[in-house]
Structure 1
Amino acid sequence: MSTSDAVTPAPPASDPGVLTAAPPGDRTGPAAAGPAAASRAARWRRRVPLLVLLLGTAVLYLWDLSASGWANSYYAAAVQAGTQDLKAMLFGSLDAGNFITVDKTPASLWLMALSARIFGFSSWSILVPQALCGVGAVALTYAAVRRWAGETGGLLAGAVLALTPVAALMFRFDNPDALLTLLLVLAAYAVTRALERASTWWLVAAGAAVGFGYLTKMLQALLVLPALGLVYLICAPTRFWRRVWQLLAAAGAMIVAAGWWVALVELWPKGSRPYVGGSTNNSILELTLGYNGLGRLTGNERGGLTGAVSGGTGGFPGGMPDGGMPGGGRGFGGFGGEAGLTRLFNDSMGGQASWLLPAALTLLVAGLVVTWRRPRTDAARAGLILWGAWLVTHVLVFSLMEGIVHEYYTVALAPALGALVGGGSVLLWHLRDPRPAPLADGSGVGAVAIAGGMIGVSGQNVATGAAEGPQTAISNAAPVSGGSAAGAGDGLRPWAAWVARAGLAAAVLVTGWWAFVLLGRVDWQPWLRSVVLVLCVVGAVALLVPWRAARASRFAFAGAVAAGVGMLAGPAAYTVQTVSTPHTGSIPLAGPASSGGFGGMRGFPGGFRPDGQNLPGQGFPGQNLPGQDGTGQGAQGQGAQGQQGQGGNRDGGGFGFPGGGMRPGGGMPGEAPADAELVKLIEGSDRTWAAAVSGAQSAAALELASGKSVMGMGGWSGDPAPTLAQFQQWAQQGRIGYFVGGGQGGFGGRGGSSQEIAAWVQQHYTALTVGTQTVYDLSKPLP
């Protein structure tokens, strides 16, 4: 074994990031009582900031949680089905009758359904687990970063994650992203632990976490694999070939953790399980590789958003081109704007997670420069590689993918942003001055370099001068007293100090500039952008100057406070606004209304937003396009003729939509509440499916309102299910109560057989009007 491969000793017990037991001889006798009690008190003092962080996160994510109601009714209906039928819970069915599944793997539904089974089905019981996933993700981010950047770095990393606007949105919403984020952070923590002693079991645990991530949101979970594999292959303290087989063992654990459910679905007789929603051939493998896999990268979702028929989708009127949704194809990229490296900074995505993205990249580069000559197993550099590769991989994929991409996907960036901003700033803070500074060893100073006291680090800790530096369990690069974090052989060369100061100052400056730009895009709290810019400029100057005198170093501390407040003020304000606003529907957005919307995607004018905040004067242009015969799936379920728009001169109007479009905070046009009279009618049905309706959205609304199982024909994306023959058989067997005309589809438009079914029903059953709906009683055929 080479010197660089040797397992280096653990950090000294004096490191405040390490809790060590007292030697046996110190545990007895009256003389030992005083030091032991002092040690316990110091330990609790170190834990107070963490408790404050986690308690604050819990309050932030749980506050008025039920204001969003069911949030995404599509997933809420699937959770309800899981509380009514175990088979529906296992497969992730949209309905308790097990007609069709949601278009994702079901792990997040299992978590919410388990909570709803225990506490009863309600908004709280399905959203509280999501909020707790957020608290857990913050705790694990802290724990992972703490192991290479110390307590302060961990606290700051957790705080940045908690205050990222899109994180506050998704940890209060019932989409799969909350559980996915928790599982991926768990995987990163496990790899961090594995790096310390080349532990196979920790690496296997990381693989299992990623496998369960696949069961939560399919291939998106695999985006962390380059980061996890790369850092272990480079930095683990063991021989190269042992690293290789350990990674293979982790891959095996991942396959087992995900593969059992895939095998179950594929081997289960198709006639006795629900149709795999989102697939074209009732296969979970096809869904993984197609609509939810390569299709997201290439833009060819095999009918999901491309080449849609004129039936209308997602509540859009029949007759709109491409099914009423923006087409796919090169450069389109779904709802997030045009594909390209600037996508994450555009009008619709910029305010979600990009506030600290320039700073994170700056700190990553500066951190790698100053740690480049350290040993291969250096802990700080390993942390930078892990989280830097995580961030870069996600940024590139989300920026360049040409298929469906939604703004809320960027929640996956938040843990890496927190780790790089928290850990990177503390690392550079310790390296910024080659000589020990009186305040450099204060436990709160490093955090203040970015957070500005916003995470509750006590000023008393600074005054007492409790030593702190990054915990380095996989190398001997532990920081010396005085705050330096130089690794073995690294030294504290003047150039490294200048790189550290310049890196900190540049990170603060670029954040201030970018926050000034983002805050200028909205007509909301206009005073904030100037305050943020001034604070960041002052803080950057203070961090750049090499203060020499002991008293002068206090200016660096004051500058750190200004920088921290300035950097976090923008995202924190957006987060508070997000928490105070109910969010519903399919495509939620964090923060106040943006002026950009979709940015002029194909099929939509610029300025249209999917979260219910359409802009005046930029509605859909009226084109008087015909809807499909008999069952147009437009707003309010209109029939044979799509209504003419108003020339785009109403607030969010056009194509027959009322002015104003969608409800604030989320949703899609036409996602209206279920008709009360129709709900009352189907509540009296005892059939397997109380009703059949075109599209998953309409089915979900009826299920949540009535508590009954409703067949959502075509599912979310116009799936070829059921076939006409299947529907005829079920209707004649008395398994379907009513057929509801019109309806709201999903977002696709493969057409399926809904039109054939509607025509057959019209020919064989009598129509009646219930409320605003045309309904056919399938127990009463025409004579």
Structure 2
Amino acid sequence: MTAVATPSTVPAVPVQRAEPRWVRPALVLLLVATAALYLWDLAASGWANAFYSAAAQAGAQSWKALFFGSTDAANGITVDKTPAALWVMSLSARLFGVNAWSILVPQALMGVGSTWLLYATVRRTSGAAAGLLAGAVLTLTPAAALIFRFNNPDALLVLLLIAAAYCTVRALEKASPKWLVFAGVAIGFGFLAKMLQAFLVLPAFALAYLVAAPTTVGKRLLHLLAGFAAVVVSAGWYLAVVALWPVADRPYIGGSQNNSLLELTLGYNGFGRITGDETGSVGGSPGGGWGSTGLFRLFGSEMAGGIAWLLPAAVLGLGAGLWFTRYAPRTDRGRASLLLWGGWLIVTAAVFSFMGGIIHPYYTVALAPAIAALVGIAAVQLWRIRGNPAAVGLLSGGVTLTTVTSYLLLDSSWQPWLAPTVLIVGLLAAIALFFVQHFGRVAAVLGLVVLLTGTGAYSFATAATPHSGAIPSAGPNTRRMFGGGGPGGLLGTSLPGANLTALLRQSGDHRWAAATVGSNNAAGYQLGSGKPVLAVGGFNGTDPYPTLAQFEQYVRQGQIRYFLGDGLTMRGSSSGSDAAARIVQWVAENYQMTTVDGVTVYDLGA
């Protein structure tokens, strides 16, 4: 919002403008605070998502496992994602050993990098103050505080998408195809982190460039074509390598029913997430079985605490910015940035709101950069034109929306004094903004307090809470940590007891020390023993690997020593292969059962 429909206009902040001396110390302070929040007591979450931790452990032991993202070093089956995030974790584990710190610290550093890149991107179009505010909002978004302290692929995805936004902004400045190609590469590697979700920003980036790049329409289209080619190449090379690799010499592609990465991309992790028709899915059902769909899904109890605090203010800021720049030149970079961040927010929010397949609350971290950027840009630019009554009204409206949202989201059972305090301060800030000429600094301070208090409180609560399992959530909700003994189940993991750990470590020279149904069960046994454990049926126990015939062959060849558990923890699968159930039945009928530390054990070598 760099121009106003009045005789006076607010020009775009030039890239070469000399910054005030306070900017660099403020940036350093922001990054140090971000690092402290994301690194503080990080090891309290232990292995966090043991599914990915076990795969990182495997990658630290086997280069093939690292490349394919195998869940075990013997390369039986892969995780159900492309493995870029695992590459980072596995390399860290190779350098510093397999432990909670080596696996989780890279995600925290990605969070610091994301804050810095967002600042750098917003600064180029809207100035340092807007960049700093955007960075602070990102840092204090609860979903970000969760994911940048966890080992899900979303941390790398967010970092790469912000990098792509930065490159797109650079491309817009001088119609640079080089920078647009860099943006395409970043999005392509975002695909290697979390598949098709990385492509949700493409419409916004393409629209911003097509509208505002300072060159002819023909060249703009050619530049976009080059950028799309970069996306295809940087994402497609891995698909091609996996497709051409001899099937007998690579692990089974987890999450697919036909051992195909392309099927996984387009099906279970692709259009199936939109329609809900996902073979091998557990829980949920087509048409909204993963929670109520609709415009207000992001404000529901599952997702609101992680992302909704500043969402209304961001939407208001987007509308205000587009209104005030309606008469700006086509190449106005302020409006282009609004198209970029606004398009990112609208497309991603729409998909998350209406998709009928698997969705978890932490996915909303992908909205955090767009919300943070829009809030930073709108707040600073409206403040700069506060002589305009409309700008003052919008500032006051944004503070009021944030006040009401925070009041409604703050859990009355947690810090009960906080919600009424935010309400009172917020109303005072909204009133002060109406009289901004008399209470300028007071209004600014109160406004910032309201913007950051609710979301910041939940972010600190998130950082103070250990998280584990497949579906972590933001906010002051205590998560149960690893237990001793007993199988973990579908979405959680338990480390084996001392006796079972010793048994697995002394299993002898076998390809797999044990096999069990489901990746989370296998992860606990593998992390506890350091020995490869085969995840029968993949994550959900519904993948057709290994088949009963393959499993029987592995046993005859002495490749598996033990079978653990009875497979009952994986019941509830709505579709997919029944190979795991057949294997469980065959083992129970042919081998003697014993119990070790509460876990059913079959000695396949007896």
| TM-score when normalising by structure 2 | 0.94
Answering whether residue 103 of structure 2 is matched by residue 277 of structure 1, we say no
Go from structure 1 to structure 2 and tell me whether the alpha carbon gap of 1:670 and 1:413 turns closer, same or farther (over 3 Å shift). closer
Shift of 1:767: 2.6
Whether the aligned pair in 1 keeps the contact of 2:314 and 2:374 (CA below 8 Å) is yes
- What one-letter code is carried by the residue in structure 1 that aligns with 2:210? L
- 1:691 is paired with a residue whose SS is strand
- Further displaced range: 526-535 or 766-775: 766-775
Give CA-to-partner distance per residue, 1:115-161, whole Å, 9 cap, x none: 11111111001111000000000000000000111010000000000
Question: Any conservation in 1 of the 2:490–2:539 contact (CA below 8 Å)?
Answer: no
Structure 1 residue aligned with 2:512: 689
Report the CA distance between 1:585 and its aligned residue.
0.7
Check conservation: 1:522, 1:592, Cα contact below 8 A.
Answer: no
- Distance in 2 (CA, whole Å) between partners of 1:545 and 1:300 is 55
Mapped pair 1:539 → 2:429: yes
Quote the residue 1:39 is aligned against.
none
**Residues 89, 113 of structure 1: 8 Å contact kept:** yes
Aligned to 1:673: 495
Could you tell me whether the CA contact under 8 Å between 1:539 and 1:562 is conserved in 2?
Answer: yes
> Given the superposition, is the C-alpha separation of residues 406 and 684 from structure 1 closer, same or farther in structure 2, using an over 3 Å criterion?
same
User: What residue is the counterpart of 1:578 in the other structure?
Assistant: 462
Whether 1:362 and 2:316 are equivalent positions in the alignment is: yes
Structure 1 residue 16, shift from structure 2 partner: 2.6
Q: Secondary structure at the match of 1:779?
A: coil
Q: What amino acid sits opposite 1:672 in the alignment?
A: S
> Could you tell me which residue of structure 2 aligns to residue 517 of structure 1?
408
What SS does the aligned partner of 2:604 have? strand
1:170–1:408 Cα contact (<8 Å) kept:
yes
Equivalent residues in 2 for 1:322-341, closer than 5 Å: 325=283, 327-332=284-289, 334=290, 337-341=291-295
Aligned to 1:73: 50
User: Could you say which residue in structure 2 is the equivalent of 1:297?
Assistant: 274
CA contact 1:219–1:288 (8 Å) conserved in 2: yes
Give the deviation of 1:574 after TM superposition.
Answer: 0.6
Q: Is the 8 A contact 1:166 1:411 kept in 2?
A: yes
Q: Distance in 2 between matches of 1:522 and 1:263?
A: 52
Per the alignment, residue 698 of structure 1 pairs with 521
Q: Tell whether the 8 Å contact from 2:257 to 2:577 is kept in structure 1 after alignment.
A: no
Relative distance call for 1:509 and 1:10 in structure 2 (3 A) is closer
Letter in 2 for 1:289: L
Partner residue of 2:227?
250
1:530 matched to 2:400? The reply is no
AA aligned opposite 1:570: G
Identify which of 771, 775, 779 aligns with 2:597.
771
Query: 1:219: Cα distance to partner?
Result: 0.5
**Whole-Å separation in 2 of the counterparts to 1:710 and 1:144:** 44
**Contact 2:13/2:124, CA 8 A, preserved across alignment:** no
Equivalent residue, structure 1, for 2:78: 101
Is the 1:214–1:220 contact (alpha carbons within 8 Å) kept by the matching residues of 2? yes
Please, which of 547, 556, 559 is the counterpart of residue 732 of structure 1? 556
Q: Which amino acid aligns with 1:728?
A: E
Out of 159, 172, 175, the position equivalent to 1:198 is 175
Look up the SS of the partner of 2:514 in the other structure: strand
CA distance in 1: counterparts of 2:54 and 2:356, whole angstroms: 30
Q: Counterpart of 2:159 in structure 1: which amino acid?
A: L
Structure 2 distance, partners of 1:679, 1:103, is 27
CA contact (8 A) 2:173 2:213 kept: yes
* Contact 1:695-1:714 within 8 A present in 2 as well: yes
Using the alignment, how far apart are the partners of 1:152 and 1:670 within structure 2? 43
C-alpha distance after superposition, 1:230-249 (max 9, x if no partner): 10011111111111111110
**Gap change, CA 1:671 and 1:77, over 3 Å in 2:** closer
- 1:748 shift after superposition: 4.4
* Residue among 503, 506, 529 paired with 2:397: 506
Q: Aligned equivalents of 1:769 and 1:543: distance in 2?
A: 69
Relative to its length, the structure with more helix (as a share) is 2
The alpha carbon displacement at 1:770 in A equals 2.5
Contact 1:531 1:566 in 2 (8 A): no
CA distance in 1, matches of 2:23, 2:524: 49
Q: Return the offset for 1:331.
A: 2.6
Is residue 2:159 matched to residue 1:185? no
For residue 48 of structure 1, report the CA deviation from its aligned partner. Answer: 0.6
Instruction: Provide the C-alpha distance between the structure 2 equivalents of 1:144 and 1:592, rounded to a whole number of angstroms.
Output: 31
- State whether structure 2 residue 539 is matched by structure 1 residue 711: no
Is the contact made by 1:370 and 1:500 (CA closer than 8 Å) also made in structure 2?
no
1:240 aligned to 180, 199, 217, which one? 217
CA distance in 1, matches of 2:28, 2:534: 47
Q: Which moved more, 1:120-129 or 1:526-535?
A: 526-535
Deviation at 1:432, TM superposition (A): 1.9
The 3 A distance-change label for structure 1 pair 204 and 419 is same
Q: 2:79 & 2:327 partners in 1: Cα distance?
A: 50
- Runs of at least 4 residues off by over 6 Å: 9-14, 667-670
Q: Is the 8 A contact 2:204 2:340 kept in 1?
A: yes
Q: Distance in 2 between matches of 1:533 and 1:139?
A: 31
Quote how far apart the aligned CAs of 1:52 are: 0.5
Alignment of 1:101-500 (within 5 A): 101-305=78-282, 325=283, 327-332=284-289, 334=290, 337-433=291-387, 497-500=388-391
The residue type paired with residue 579 of structure 2 is S
Which stretch shows the higher mean deviation, 205-214 or 378-387? 378-387
Q: Give the match's secondary structure for 1:245.
A: helix
Alpha-carbon contact 1:391-1:417 (below 8 Å) kept: yes
Matched-pair contact (CA < 8 Å) for 1:350–1:518: yes
Q: Deviations over 1:419-470 (max 9, x none)?
A: 000011111111221xxxxxxxxxxxxxxxxxxxxxxxxxxxxxxxxxxxxx
**Structure 1 pair 366/694, CA: closer, same or farther in 2 (3 Å)?**
same
Structure 1: state its 5+ residue gaps. 1-8, 18-41, 306-324, 434-496, 595-610, 614-634, 638-661
Q: Which amino acid aligns with 1:531?
A: T
| Contact 1:697–1:745 (CA under 8 A) maintained in structure 2 | no
- Tell me: CA distance 1:510–1:10, structure 2 relative to 1, closer, same or farther (3 Å): closer
Q: Percent identity?
A: 53
**Contact 2:13–2:125 (CA<8 Å) still a contact in 1?**
no
The Cα of 1:746 is off from its aligned counterpart by 9.2
CA deviation vs aligned residue, 1:95-132 (integer Å, no higher than 9, x gap): 01101000011000000111111111110011110000
SS of residue matched to 1:413: helix
Distance in 1 between residues matched to 2:176 and 2:194, nearest whole Å: 28
Per-residue Cα deviation, 1:566-613 (whole angstroms, up to 9, x for no partner): 22111111111111111111111111249xxxxxxxxxxxxxxxx559
Partner of 1:447: none
2:580 pairs with 724, 729, 754, which one? 754
Structure 2 alignment gaps of length 5 or more = 1-10
Residue 683 (structure 1) shift: 0.7
Relative to structure 1, the CA distance from residue 421 to residue 204 in structure 2 (aligned partners, 3 Å threshold; closer, same or farther) is same
RMSD after superposition:
2.0
- The structure having more radius of gyration, on CA atoms, is 1
Q: Match of 2:286, as an amino acid? A: G
In terms of mean alpha carbon deviation, does 555-564 or 170-179 score higher? 555-564
Q: What residue number does 2:6 align with?
A: none
The answer to whether 1:15 aligns with 2:17 is yes
Of stretches 537-546 and 149-158 in structure 1, the one that deviates more from structure 2 is: 537-546
AA at the equivalent of 1:589:
S
**Conserved 8 A contact 2:50-2:520:** yes
1:591 alignment partner, one of 475, 480, 483: 475
